[in-house]
Amino acid sequence: MSGTIRTTKGRGRLYDSILDTVGDTPVIRINNLAPEGVTIYVKAEFFNPAASVKDRLALNIIEAAERSGALKPGQTVVEATSGNTGIGLAMVCAQKGYPLVVTMAESFSVERRRLMRMLGAKVVLTPKAQKGTGMYNKAVELAEKHGWFLARQFETEANADIHESTTAQEILGDFAGQRLDYIVTGYGTGGTVSGLSRVLRRERPEVKIILTEPANAALVSSGTPQDRGPDHAPAGSHPAFEPHPIQGWTPDFIPWVLQEALDKKGYDDLIPIPGAEGMDWARKLAAREGILTGVSGGSTFAVAMRIAEKAEPGTVILSMMPDTGERYLSTPLFEPFAEDMDDEERALSESTPGYRMG
């Protein structure tokens, strides 16, 4: 390949709006980190236009509500989010002309709230101590007080439905006639695993679906059911929850959308992962593969690597990559990388006659 000049021909179509570019994300082989004899692929959801898997559900929530009449022209949309769903909703609402208000716990990264504001949304921060249920309850209160449309990503059927009709179908198409042994995914709302399991259990029953969650917030592993209120909403924090660094994964309750996969055995194994291990693999993916993903992507890949290390030769694993590493610049993921030059970089700078700084 080194002697070949790459060429491109365009996609063969013109897009009517940014929303038409959601989905059809690429599956990419891991070349340098995978153990010998085992093939690992990642499904790069950061190729979505707003750079995360949540673009899918954001678009379907709005369009399903438009079809049903639940969302009226010009009505304000409100939702609680750790960031990616809010960014996806901000993109969709900007294109379709809906005002958007997002509620978000103040503990999530500042770049997320800035991105939403740049896309035209209003961001209401809730106290860190109130965790995910705090931002959830604030969104419900705002919807009830002002008559806004509540997106309800944690309960709506539109969530898993879009993964059934797009994400799962893409995987079937990309692996048609090809071996696939494992798919690894975490959960935020649970839409990905619930949607994938509907299709893969029927079309590719030999594929094992591996679910993962933070080791110190192992809600599903605890076996303790989630208390629920009206409309399947969480009735308070789950007792097994502790704050964890894997943003976008595992709020302080078990979402109703995920409950489908739990009740119908939509996964084959559950492997918790420490956040620090996920960050380490996210950094390795960037430095060794050129794949820039966030903490959730690194954590999913960490579980894929655990499986790969024990797998038989020839095993094929697909790891979901939910978002881009650029969502985490202000978080511990980037702490090892200083803004200023380190000693080695300074030595390189001083190694030529043109060195002059300060």
> Got the DSSP string for 77-118?
EEEE-SSHHHHHHHHHHHHHT--EEEEEETTS-HHHHHHHHH
Cα separation of 202 and 184, whole Å?
18
pLDDT at 204 over 90: yes
Second CATH level (architecture) for the domain 54-150: 3-Layer(aba) Sandwich (3.40)
CATH topology for the 18-47+167-334 domain = Rossmann fold (3.40.50)
pLDDT at 50 over 90: yes
> With contact defined as beta carbons under 8 Å apart, do 68 and 31 qualify?
no
Q: 67-94 pLDDT, tens per residue?
A: 999 999 999 999 999 889 999 999 999 9
CATH 3.40.50.1100 domain extents, the chain? 18-47+167-334, 54-150
Q: What secondary structure letter does DSSP report for 20?
A: G
Residue 132, pLDDT score: 86
Beta bridge pairs of residue 103: 80, 124
Proportion of the chain above pLDDT 70, given as a percent:
98
Of 43, 52, 54, 299, which one is the catalytic site residue? 54
Residue 43, pLDDT score: 98
Residue with tokens 């599956």: 27
Cα separation of 140 and 154, whole Å?
12
Cα separation of 52 and 54, whole Å?
5
pLDDT at 355 over 70: no
- What value does the mean pLDDT of the chain take? 95
Structural tokens at position 73? 């022209």
Residue 353, pLDDT score: 84
Of 82, 197, 237, 296, which one is the catalytic site residue? 296
Residue 13, pLDDT score: 95
Output 58 or 353, whichever has higher pLDDT: 58
194 as an active site residue: the answer is no
Residue 2, pLDDT score: 65
Give the model's confidence band at 107: pLDDT under 50 very low, under 70 low, under 90 confident, else very high.
confident
296 as an active site residue: the answer is yes
Cα separation of 257 and 254, whole Å?
9
Give the model's confidence band at 358: pLDDT under 50 very low, under 70 low, under 90 confident, else very high.
low
Could you tell me the pTM of the whole model? 0.94
Rounded to an integer, the average pLDDT of 244-259 is 94
